[in-house]
Structure 1
Amino acid sequence: MKKWLIGLVVLLAVSLLAACGAGDTEEGTDTAESKDIELGATAGPYSDMLKNAIIPGLEEKGYTVKLTEFSDYIQPNNALDTGDIDANLFQHTIYLEDFAEQNNMDLTPLIIVPTAPMGIYSEVYKSLDEIKDGATVAVPNDPTNAARAFNTLQDAGLLTVSQDADPLTVSERDVVENPKNLKFQPIEAGQLPRAVESADLSAVPGNFAIAAKMNLLDALQLENMDDRYRNVVAVKTENKDSQLAKDIKEVVESDKFEKVIDDEFQGFGKPEWMIK
């Protein structure tokens, strides 16, 4: 009888240990990061950047990647916040931070990528030296893009803005020298490619230039872009140290990524970390 009881106790102990082991295994499976991921972007050059320069690198690391394209600048962050996608690429840091604050989201820029710069385009002049006194310049009518336009015009030597002005909020009222007496025409940013035909000069943001099939390298002057205006891969803050986040950064920092940028995204301005 004692032998039988001892045997039963041993059997129960073994069963309990096995069950605990199985539980540990299942828990480990639940917490392991999945290799099936979904990335989001607005249709256009940044969707292409994911397709051609980032996703291939992730696939080499064993990921199965689904790409979702969005038609506006709202849904990509909504989808990221709810976990429907794992990362997105379409926005610069300033927009991301403002959107996250206004919508009570905890999102983080992971890494800055090459970005299509604003350009000063003209069908009237072939060089900056040709620009005549009183030339008209179409500029964006929203404060963020307007600041970029005036900074770019200053870089082109066409005007001077006050040294006290914040580069992120520069406007026409900050212009202290305008030797060519340029006339500024504020226009909705999406209409600026068309303004190339009607104004002497037009300051066109890169994304709108590409959408209008314009060649970035045709610009008389390309923007010397502040990194805060360059687009970023964004993730939920809680995932910024995940293995996926590390792998995305490694892919973007690779020589293969830079080669695709040089070959297929000519005119895109590289962030400081790529130039150093």
Structure 2
Amino acid sequence: MRKISALLLVLILAFTLGACGKDSSTASSEKKEIKIGATSGPYADMVKKAIAPQLEKDGYKVEVVEFNDYMQPNISLGNSSIDANLFQHKIYMETFAKEHKLKLSELIIVPTAPMGIYSDKLKDLNEIKKGTTIAVPNDPTNLARALKILEDAGIIKLDPAADPLTISEKDVTDNPKGLVFKPLEAAQLPRAVESVDLSAVPGNFALAAKMDLLEALQLEDMPEEYRNRVVVNKKDLNSDFAKAIKKAVESDEFEKTIDSEFKGFGKPEWMGK
């Protein structure tokens, strides 16, 4: 009799544990609440206006968590306080993940506000004269982008052997207009438009300063490495909610919202630019 009772107890425990494991797995695969972090401004707006509505159609409840710096969105993702974020390009993501020992992975690239050359004094880059001053970012990554815009516009020439992601003033091989470069903190570049002839302003700072991207004298042909992407923890890359986010970004409705609400944003290659 005791043997029968013990056997029944073992069977009951096995059934109970098996049921609990099944419920846990089902709950994980059927996650229907998603927290997406984004920096305040255009990318939080992109989540709210272009991504969340598509996810909600698929039955997800979306909470947008806004950040005012570039560290907390990844820290919060790494500790699973949020499920995904949107604010960074590939180079920043990989560097941050390595320095902070995080396992992050890009999910999909999204349209991104490009850097542009702006001026209150000139109407066209053809008006550049000898000794024209241009304010440029003082950090290596954004300086490289600014110089590439000038090369694409035919204003300067760069050493073709230089790494396009790390080019600097020393790689300028021809400067026929005698441009004078004035390095500044990126956040100061929108205001510099008032005091210098030209200013190379990263897209996020231009939008934060209420500048119209379409008023730039020249917008960059942005390399894919500099476009922002939705990022998730590597362990969640093949999760149902990650697939749902990717589907939302790839939807026709997403692109229509970008075209109407985010004018001037450069589209990634998969969207056909």
Of the candidates 80, 89, 92, which is equivalent to residue 86 of structure 2?
A: 89
1:27 aligns with 2:21: yes
Say yes or no: does 1:189 pair with 2:186.
yes
| Alignment pair present for 1:136 and 2:133 | yes
Q: Residue deviations 1:91-150, cap 9 Å, x none?
A: 101000000001111111111100000000001111121222211000000000000000
Q: Deviations over 1:216-242 (max 9, x none)?
A: 000000010011001011111111111
| % identical aligned pairs | 57
The aligned amino acid for 2:256 is: K
**1:116 match: secondary structure:** coil
Question: 1:165: which partner in 2?
Answer: 162
Q: Which of 232, 249, 253 is the matching residue for 1:252?
A: 249
Shift of 1:197: 0.5
Distance 2:19 2:217 in 1: 62
Deviations 1:57-82 (A, max 9, x none): 11111111111111111111000000
* Residue 39 of structure 1: aligned partner: 36
Farther-moved stretch of structure 1 (119-128 vs 14-23)? 14-23
CA distance in 2, matches of 1:272, 1:31: 36
Question: Which is worse superposed, 22-31 or 76-85?
Answer: 22-31
Where does residue 230 of structure 1 map in the other structure?
227
Give the equivalent residue in structure 2 for 1:104.
101
| CA distance in structure 2 between the aligned counterparts of 1:267 and 1:21, rounded to whole angstroms | 59
Shift of 1:191: 0.1
Aligned partner of residue 224 in structure 1, secondary structure: coil
Shift of 1:13: 7.3
Q: Helix, strand or coil: the match of 2:194?
A: helix
Q: Which amino acid aligns with 1:90?
A: F
What letter corresponds to residue 234 of structure 2 in structure 1?
Answer: T
Listed as ranges, the gaps of 5+ residues in structure 2 are none
User: Shift in Å at residue 18 of structure 1?
Assistant: 6.2
Paired residue secondary structure (1:80): helix
Query: What are the superposed Cα offsets for residues 3-43 of structure 1, whole Å, 9 maximum, x if unpaired?
Result: xx7xx96x997886566444333212212322112110110
Aligned twin of 2:57: 60
Aligned to 2:74: 77
Matched, 1:155 2:155: no
CA distance in 2, matches of 1:244, 1:38: 10
Which of the pair has more CA radius of gyration?
Answer: 1
Partner of 1:116: 113
Whole-Å separation in 1 of the counterparts to 2:211 and 2:10: 69
Aligned-partner Cα distance in 2 for 1:210–1:42: 12
Q: Say if 2:255 is the partner of 1:261.
A: no
Task: Give the count of matched residue pairs.
Answer: 269
- 2:13 and 2:251 map into 1 onto residues whose CA distance is 45
Cα RMSD between the aligned structures? 1.7
- Structure 1: state its 5+ residue gaps: none
Equivalents in 2 of 1:186, 1:219: separation in Å? 19
Following the alignment from structure 1 to structure 2, what is the Cα–Cα distance between the partners of residues 202 and 16? 75
